[in-house]
Amino acid sequence: MFPLSPISFDVVIFGGGGAGLWLLDELTRAGYEALLIECSALGTGQTIGAQGIIHGGLKYTLGGMLTGSATAIRDMPTLWRQCLAGERAPDLSKTRIRAEACLMWRTASISSQLGMLGARVGLKARPSKLAADQIPGALAGCPGEVFKVDEQVIDTASFVECLRVRLCDRLLLANKDSLEFECSLRGIEAIRVAAGESELTFQPQAVVFTAGAGNGPLRELARLTPGLMQLRPLHMILARGGLPELNGHCVDGARTRVTITSDIDSDNRRIWQLGGQVAEDGVTMNPVETISHTMTELQAVLPGVDLSEIDWATYRIDRAEIRTEDGSRPEGVQVKKEGNVITGWPTKLALFPLLASEIKALLDEPSGLDNSASHLQSFPKPSVALPPWETRERWFSSKEIN
């Protein structure tokens, strides 16, 4: 190890999930000399584990009300659509789009029908009813109407890769355990961290934590108010094999009974990622119980789909957010500024743009520093995390579960 001279940056960001990368891009375009420090692969955790739906708030209006969450998110599908088409910065046109829209169908209860009506209140991505001949075969046998909602589904790995390529010079892969902050009343004065064989020191004007669940430990290290974050666990389910392509939600009243998103794995097999209520229910169950419960739910909400020759796996993942009094999901993005340290939680990937602009609004103007990132050319750079279906070791056949 050899210590190098301190390098000054306007902003040092910790955490290269979608939130940190979007922010880094926005700050770089605005003339800030900014650096992002990642301790693992980019997107590790929520961004890679997410279902990739660019929500427009529909699922927050299923009770029939335009909630705070729905208001915060309703402009996001249009903004993302423009970025994904390369018509607006950041240019995300290399992101793979898994679906242009989601479907929404319901179970037979009256309450679920009311939910569908409530869902149309005040939103920009409103559901439109599909004609009988447009309803996909997978939904044959489902009672009632099927709606289409213009919420795109993205492959989050290619979204992260898109930003990685553009921002590579400003990314640093560092060893989390080596991290030290030098703190004062102003906040963080200096950052010391090991990257590869070297020990680096940074002098930041401002520091931003967008490290998802890593924000808690980072805040502790920076001696900031403890207990500001909550983790809400999910036990997500993966299905693999002869499945139809399907992206959407089965709603029952104000509840999303199951959310299904589809992809193709590296061996060209169809993957379903299953979330919603089944993943909430699975939190207290082991993988086999969770899969068995999910199979029962799928038989009820998709009676026309044959599940007999499918392989199944699960993954546990926490949603990291600012703490709420009752432990429920916070409405919209959450940002906390303490001295020169800003902590941010997007709550939804659809809200990355909003989080970036809220954080930028809290920063001083760029100082005119130039070329700090050029000192980092020879240091290790983070790669992009693999999606959960590429990292599961244990898959269960339907026969093993039944």
Residues that bind ligand FAD (CB under 6 A): 14-20, 37-40, 42-47, 49-53, 55, 176, 210-212, 214, 218, 234, 236, 275, 317, 319, 346-350
Minimum distance, C-beta of residue 131 to ligand FAD, in the bound complex (Å): 27
Query: Could you tell me the CA-to-CA distances from 347 to 213, 217, 229, 350 in Å, in that order?
Result: 12, 18, 12, 9
Minimum distance, C-beta of residue 49 to ligand FAD, in the bound complex (Å): 5
Of residues 40 and 158, the one with the C-beta less far from ligand FAD: 40
What one-character DSSP code corresponds to residue 42? B
Positive/negative CA dihedral, 391, 275, 228, 353: positive
Q: Please choose, from the candidates 152, 143, 147, the residue with its C-alpha nearest in 3D space to the C-alpha of residue 131.
A: 147
* Helix, strand, coil distribution of the chain in percent, nearest 5: 30, 30, 40
CB 347 within 8 A of CB 330: yes
Minimum distance, C-beta of residue 41 to ligand FAD, in the bound complex (Å): 7
Of residues 43 and 287, the one with the C-beta less far from ligand FAD: 43
Q: Characterize the bridge pairing of strands 102-106 and 248-252.
A: parallel
Minimum distance, C-beta of residue 348 to ligand FAD, in the bound complex (Å): 3
Minimum distance, C-beta of residue 219 to ligand FAD, in the bound complex (Å): 10
What one-character DSSP code corresponds to residue 12? E
Amino acid at 124: K
Positive/negative CA dihedral, 264, 270, 275, 280: negative
Provide the 10 A C-beta neighbour count for residue 177. 8
Minimum distance, C-beta of residue 212 to ligand FAD, in the bound complex (Å): 2
CB 153 within 8 A of CB 53: yes
| Residue 97 φ/ψ, nearest 5 degrees | -95, 120
Of residues 13 and 113, the one with the C-beta less far from ligand FAD: 13
Of residues 113 and 347, the one with the C-beta less far from ligand FAD: 347
Residues 88 and 85: their CA atoms lie apart, in Å, by 8
Of residues 51 and 61, the one with the C-beta less far from ligand FAD: 51
Of residues 84 and 349, the one with the C-beta less far from ligand FAD: 349
Q: Which residue has the tokens 């082991």?
A: 286
Of residues 113 and 260, the one with the C-beta less far from ligand FAD: 260
Query: Within the chain, how many helices (H) and strands (E) appear?
Result: 11, 19
Minimum distance, C-beta of residue 108 to ligand FAD, in the bound complex (Å): 26
